[in-house]
Structure formats: C-alpha cells, structure tokens
C-alpha cells in the first residue's frame, strides 16, 4: 500500500469520484478522517497503558 505513488493515487481518486459521485466524496472523506483519528487515539492509549505497566514493573 505504501508504494502507490502519485499516479496511482490520482487513479484511485478518479475511480472514487466516478463510483460515489461528487456529493458523497466529502462525507466519505470525513468518515475516513474520523476513523483514522479514532484509530490513532486507540493506539496511543494502548501504548500509554503498556508504558505505564512497564514503569510499574520497574519500580517494584
């Protein structure tokens, strides 16, 4: 997925525009952004929990 490149990204955007239409794309983009934001919060919380557990073990 990391090797899509600029031409591949343009192709994906054009296909999305054709499939979903111009009215749905902002909604889809917003939903995708919200999903990424929530995923980031979750992983950050998990990382913090792991670091706290590690610190507690080191204190004992």
Q: Do the domain assignments include residue 13?
A: no
Q: Do the domain assignments include residue 25?
A: yes
Q: Do the domain assignments include residue 59?
A: yes
**Residue 59: which H helix or E strand, with range?**
helix 25-59
Q: Do the domain assignments include residue 15?
A: no
Task: Determine the pLDDT at residue 40.
Answer: 93
Task: Determine the pLDDT at residue 59.
Answer: 75
Q: Do the domain assignments include residue 36?
A: yes
**pLDDT tens, position by position, 18-54:** 998 888 888 988 999 999 999 999 999 888 888 888 8
Q: Do the domain assignments include residue 51?
A: yes
CB neighbour list of residue 20: distance below 8 Å, 6 or more residues apart: 28
Task: Determine the pLDDT at residue 39.
Answer: 93
Task: Give the count of domains, the chain.
Answer: 1
Task: Determine the pLDDT at residue 54.
Answer: 81
* Residue 3 dihedral angles phi and psi, to the nearest 5°: -100, 35
Q: Do the domain assignments include residue 4?
A: no
Which residues constitute the domain of residue 49?
21-60
Phi-psi region of 5 (alpha: psi -120 to 50; beta: other; left: phi over 0): left
Could you tell me the pTM of the whole model? 0.57
Task: Determine the pLDDT at residue 37.
Answer: 95
Rounded CA-CA distance 2/7 in Å is: 13
């Amino acid at each position: 997925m990391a090797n899509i490149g600029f031409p591949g990204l343009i192709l994906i955007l054009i296909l999305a525009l054709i499939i979903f239409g111009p009215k749905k794309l902002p909604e889809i983009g917003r939903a995708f952004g919200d999903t990424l934001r929530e995923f980031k919060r979750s992983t950050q919380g998990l990382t913090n929990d792991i670091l706290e557990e590690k610190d507690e073990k080191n204190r004992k």
